[in-house]
């Protein structure tokens, strides 16, 4: 038999409770359905990539034409290329 989930006065109190307790003691996860949250931003990690200065300048020109930051445009280009490689 599962334990009864206590009532919480605040979201912070509930967050602390779940950080300190195993949810499987309170919830039967065998009935849970997997969902997809497509609009969530994926986790990011900072990396260092050495590029020729001329390439960075050209990227900045292209980004300026699209009115986006050049680093964002670089991510778009990488994403498009990766997608194309996987769907050959």
In the chain, the number of structural domains is 2
Within this chain, do residues 81 and 57 fall inside the same structural domain, yes or no? yes
Same domain? For 79 and 56 the reply is: yes
CB atoms within 10 A of CB 62: 14
What is the structure's pLDDT at 9?
Answer: 95
**pLDDT value of position 46:** 93
pTM of the model: 0.52
The pLDDT value recorded for residue 34 is 87
Range of the domain at 83: 43-88
Q: What is the mean pLDDT of each run of 10 residues along the chain (88 residues)?
A: 93 94 92 85 90 97 96 95 90
Q: How far apart are CA 50 and CA 28, in angstroms?
A: 49
Task: Please say whether the beta carbons of 26 and 3 come within 8 A.
Answer: yes
Report d(CA 23, CA 3) in Å as an integer. 10
Residue 36 is assigned to a structural domain of this protein: no
List CB contacts of 72: < 8 A, sequence separation 6 or more. 63
Same domain, 86 and 65: yes
In a domain, 38, yes or no: no
């Amino acid at each position: 038999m599962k334990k009864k989930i206590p009532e919480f006065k605040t979201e912070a109190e509930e967050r602390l409770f779940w950080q300190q307790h195993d949810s499987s003691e309170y919830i039967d996860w065998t009935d849970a359905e997997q969902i997809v949250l497509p609009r969530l931003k994926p986790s990011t990690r900072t990396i260092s990539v050495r590029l020729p200065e001329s390439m960075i300048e050209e990227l900045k020109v292209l980004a300026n034409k699209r009115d986006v930051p050049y680093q964002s445009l670089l991510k778009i280009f990488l994403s498009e290329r990766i997608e194309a490689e996987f769907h050959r």
